[in-house]
Structure 1
Amino acid sequence: MDRGYRGVTARGSTIQISFTFKGVQCRESLKLKPTKANLLYAARKREAIIFEIASNKFKFSEHFPNSRSKAAKYFGTEHNSQTTIEMALKAWVKTMQKKVQKSTLKDYNSIIYHHLIPYFGHCKLYELTTQMVEDWISDLQLSNKRINNILVPLKAIYKKAINQKVIPENPMKHIRNLPVQTREPQPFTPNEINRILNELEGQVKNYIQFAIWTGLRTSELLALKWEDIDYEQGVIHVKRAKVLGQEKSTKTKTGNRKVKLLSGACDALLNQERFTRNICDYIFHDPRHGRPWKNDEAIRKVFWYPALERAGIEKRNVYQTRHTYASLALSAGENLMWVSKQMGHDKPSTTLKSYARWISSMDSNAGSKLTKKIS
């Protein structure tokens, strides 16, 4: 009976009309029997509403003064209708100042001010639609991983708006993270390790050699202090990391760990002692000015990449020293659980996922085979 009228449906003894307002699908009931005349009335009422919406003249409460629907709750009173995405983002990032690390906060600000506010900032919270976000994503010339990170603040403000009942619908609930392809590790062979070290000298050589023999993250290497070295017990106490020149806790709880001090790492430390042992708490310094490294930018650009080029080795980032440690240890037959703990992974499956193809036979004589492999 109601098929001839778009957006008009008979519902028992009432008539329901549906329309989209400010990105929200609205369904309102009219207390009218679904007769032919009443259905025609409902269809014309819907057409008038569509016209008013297009003309920016629609007032929800005038058409549905007694409605108790979710849409009426918000649009009938224009509840928080003036809150823009820019306002919500700025308020959200302010609340995150004491909840996240300084480096994470810096990234959030970069995302908000360089990506989200320029594109969506002027919109009211209720105006954003899923289609708008999908169209925006399709135009971004960025990696899937970066796009996923950019979506974090946007998803956060809409989750908060829903929880606080500021908006009736969440346009981000259907936006899924894009698939991210994990980069395959590109570890160095023992021959390549020797060629690289032959192209380095002094403190930088000690730094790289120590990195290869410990598998520490770059941030952990930069934050390492002499007090963290226990020669007697033969271990390194990894307690902290340094990001953007600021110390912070390790990446995960399991990142706070003891790493076995193998011979290659011990030799690098003994060689490094004459440079910084009685000068500073931090072990590794930039030889150009004798101060602790703030980050790995100079290591990469000034020392590492030129050394690879001189050694005739394909360009790879410094983080491959960590992959080298893990892959050589596993291919030498070291126990997976032991390697996982040395790496500071939260669980062995994390290690297995990244380095499965290098696993050989398992052995409990931890560290001995790796020493032979690298030597």
Structure 2
Amino acid sequence: MAKVRLRPETNNLYLDFSFRGKRCKEQTALKDTPANRRTLETFANRIKREMAKGTFDYRAFFPDSPRASQFDGDMQATPTAVATRSHASPDRGPSTPTLGQFAGTWYQENLPRWRQTHADTVEGTLHQHILPKLGEKPLAEITRADLLAFRAELGKQTGKGGGALSPSRINHIMTPLRMLMAEASERYEFLTPFRNIKPLRLPKLDIQPLSLDEVHRALGTVRKDWHPYLATRFFTGMRTGEINALEWKHIDFEQDLILIRQSIVKGKLENTKTDGSMRDIPMVPLVRNALLEQQKLVSEDCRWVFAQRNGDPINLVNFTNRVWHPLLRHLGLVPRRPYQTRHTAATLMLASGENPEWVARTLGHANTEMLFRVYSRYVPNLTRNDGKAFTGLVTASSMPTSSAARTKDAPHGTATPLSVLTRKQLEALVAQLQQQ
């Protein structure tokens, strides 16, 4: 029986089996991943079946192997599989449907587990990019070279803004193709040509959060009817789709919680992005006051917490063009997307000394990995885990500046920027507030 084994020094998988009384080891370039193991196990099972039938042709399975010559002439068998070191070809590979024929089946089989907006995106990607280039090719005949050429051609195309497609966009186009080929390779028993093709490297995310002083300048300048919306965004870190989909039934004033249960994506109301995104966000006093203020601004029969004048949820494009960008220009701040309010909340929570696990749960992250990767320079300590430090920080910033919040070198009457406060100064500030 052919077995899949691991070579520790290379972390590559290989096949170990006996044929005609001789032990054979055939190396592959496949790394030890669950997907690669499944692929190779499928291949090993084919070897087992061919051996059981007495039709196993060593050279047909391993045409590049030096050992194949030892078994030449043992039998006259028709090539039946794809070699571990080469891709399928018309004279060696199994008979498979074209990518276009299989794409419809694959799409329908996955439709029940996708959100509708994601399904629409996948369908658009298939019809706009993938099927025109690869739709007529049999699945087993698509080679690594075909995939690399397809990706290179994507890099020459222009996007909506007239510039070249970004590495992130190209990766998003390649993802459904990778998933489709992975399923096809298991179903039709050939090695996926995607192996060892890594996604394009993305530039490091450079966030542009506002400082606490800039946040309060913005809140003090924005039109009064937009104040509650911005305050909630700045001090909860909710995603745009989450806050725009917020209904009054999701506001628990008794427990001081905001219940994130749904999101608006491309104008459609859907479930949250992931299971981890379904969460309860604790309300700091500033957010509670903002929501109470918002209650007075909307009609009693409006289901949405933040709504336009016609009663519909906030429209992102309208808010961005008519409120957000004019506000930044008025304050003399660098232009940035409204999504930076989420990064602002994250950096303020971390800078206040909150435990990253609490911050991750509040933001709806599955773990703290992204926090340390994106916000690491904003983590002064890991001492707190209850939200009180964040509450103290944002509350203190709305009060007159005290001597505890100044550095020794700062001029009298000048507030110390958050970025230069030390851990001890932050803790002293919070302790002082808690005694008031």
Query: Following TM superposition, by how much is the alpha carbon of 1:66 offset from its aligned partner in structure 2, in angstroms?
Result: 3.3
Spell out, residue by residue over 1:317-375, the C-alpha distance to the aligned partner (whole angstroms, 9 max, x if none).
11111111111122122232322222122123332322221112323562333323542
SS where residue 267 of structure 1 aligns? Answer: helix
Determine the structure 2 residue equivalent to 1:301. Answer: 321
Query: Following TM superposition, by how much is the alpha carbon of 1:75 offset from its aligned partner in structure 2, in angstroms?
Result: 5.9
Q: Distance in 1 between matches of 2:358 and 2:213?
A: 25
Amino acid at match of 1:221: I
SS where residue 211 of structure 1 aligns? Answer: helix
- Which residue of 123, 147, 155 maps to 2:170? 147
Determine the structure 1 residue equivalent to 2:128. Answer: 114
Q: Does 1:272 align with 2:286?
A: no
Query: Following TM superposition, by how much is the alpha carbon of 1:197 offset from its aligned partner in structure 2, in angstroms?
Result: 2.7
Residues 129 and 204 from structure 1, CA distance in 2 versus in 1: closer, same or farther, beyond 3 angstroms?
same
Determine the structure 1 residue equivalent to 2:110. Answer: 96
- Which residue of 87, 93, 111 maps to 2:101? 87
Query: Following TM superposition, by how much is the alpha carbon of 1:210 offset from its aligned partner in structure 2, in angstroms?
Result: 1.0
Q: Does 1:211 align with 2:240?
A: no
Amino acid at match of 1:304: W
- The more displaced of 213-222 and 65-74 is 65-74
Q: Distance in 2 between matches of 1:374 and 1:247?
A: 36
CA RMSD, aligned part only?
3.2
Residues 139 and 68 from structure 1, CA distance in 2 versus in 1: closer, same or farther, beyond 3 angstroms?
closer
Residues 76 and 347 from structure 1, CA distance in 2 versus in 1: closer, same or farther, beyond 3 angstroms?
closer
Amino acid at match of 1:356: S
SS where residue 258 of structure 1 aligns? Answer: strand
Query: Following TM superposition, by how much is the alpha carbon of 1:205 offset from its aligned partner in structure 2, in angstroms?
Result: 2.8
Amino acid at match of 2:78: S
Q: Distance in 2 between matches of 1:155 and 1:349?
A: 25
Query: Following TM superposition, by how much is the alpha carbon of 1:259 offset from its aligned partner in structure 2, in angstroms?
Result: 1.3
Determine the structure 2 residue equivalent to 1:315. Answer: 335
Question: Is 1:203–1:285's contact at 8 Å kept on the other side of the alignment?
Answer: no
Unaligned runs of 5+ in 1: 1-11, 34-63
Query: Following TM superposition, by how much is the alpha carbon of 1:74 offset from its aligned partner in structure 2, in angstroms?
Result: 9.4
The normalised TM-score by structure 2 is 0.66
Spell out, residue by residue over 1:189-232, the C-alpha distance to the aligned partner (whole angstroms, 9 max, x if none).
12222332344224433211111111111111011111111222
SS where residue 97 of structure 1 aligns? Answer: helix
Determine the structure 2 residue equivalent to 1:366. Answer: 387
Query: Following TM superposition, by how much is the alpha carbon of 1:306 offset from its aligned partner in structure 2, in angstroms?
Result: 2.0
Spell out, residue by residue over 1:13-39, the C-alpha distance to the aligned partner (whole angstroms, 9 max, x if none).
xxx9989xxxx9788979559xxxxxx
Q: Distance in 2 between matches of 1:100 and 1:268?
A: 35
SS where residue 198 of structure 2 aligns? Answer: coil
Determine the structure 2 residue equivalent to 1:292. Answer: 313
Amino acid at match of 1:267: N
Q: How does 1:165-244 map to 2 (within 5 A)?
A: 165=188, 168-244=190-266
- The more displaced of 72-81 and 267-276 is 72-81
Spell out, residue by residue over 1:152-189, the C-alpha distance to the aligned partner (whole angstroms, 9 max, x if none).
22122222222122x63322223222222341221101
Q: Distance in 2 between matches of 1:344 and 1:203?
A: 27
Amino acid at match of 2:297: F
Question: Is 1:238–1:258's contact at 8 Å kept on the other side of the alignment?
Answer: yes
Q: Distance in 2 between matches of 1:299 and 1:322?
A: 16
Identity, % of aligned pairs?
A: 25
Q: Distance in 2 between matches of 1:299 and 1:351?
A: 27
Q: Distance in 2 between matches of 1:129 and 1:31?
A: 27
- Which residue of 123, 147, 164 maps to 2:137? 123
- The more displaced of 118-127 and 69-78 is 69-78
SS where residue 98 of structure 1 aligns? Answer: helix
SS where residue 236 of structure 1 aligns? Answer: strand
